[in-house]
Amino acid sequence: QGLKPEPPVPTESPDPIFGTSKLPSDLPATDPFLGQNKVPDLQKIFQRSDGLPVHLKLGVPDKMLYRTTMALTIGGTIYCLIALYIASQPRNP
């Protein structure tokens, strides 16, 4: 039967499947999805030498999250210890 001849290789690259139709030069500088770069401001906050640990630098929300995490951790530890104590007691016949 023989081999079928291969089709010619295309010389142009195909269009990207998930690409956008806009080129970067077509985008206006004030597009809302670009937003403002907040990294320098956050660097100033986190690198400040004020004696606070880095996980408490952003103030009240960080303190609330930290305290909630600590309360859940301590409560879970106490609950596990109580469950182990109850499980270790012999059952009455």
* CATH code (residue 67): 4.10.91.10
Task: Please report whether residue 10 resides in a domain.
Answer: no
Tokens of residue 14, six digits = 């195909």
Tokens of residue 30, six digits = 């004030």
Q: How many residues does the chain have?
A: 93
Q: In this predicted structure, what is the pLDDT of residue 52?
A: 87
pLDDT per residue over 37-57, tens digit each? 888 888 898 888 888 888 888
pTM of full prediction above 0.85: no
Task: Please report whether residue 60 resides in a domain.
Answer: yes
Place of tokens 């030069």: 25
Task: Please report whether residue 63 resides in a domain.
Answer: yes
Task: Please report whether residue 39 resides in a domain.
Answer: no
Task: Please report whether residue 34 resides in a domain.
Answer: no
> Where in the sequence is the domain holding 72, given as residue range(s)?
52-92
Task: Please report whether residue 8 resides in a domain.
Answer: no
3-class secondary-structure state, position 10: coil
Task: Please report whether residue 88 resides in a domain.
Answer: yes
Tell me the pLDDT band of 8, cut-offs 50, 70 and 90. confident
Task: Please report whether residue 22 resides in a domain.
Answer: no
Number of domains observed in the structure of the chain: 1
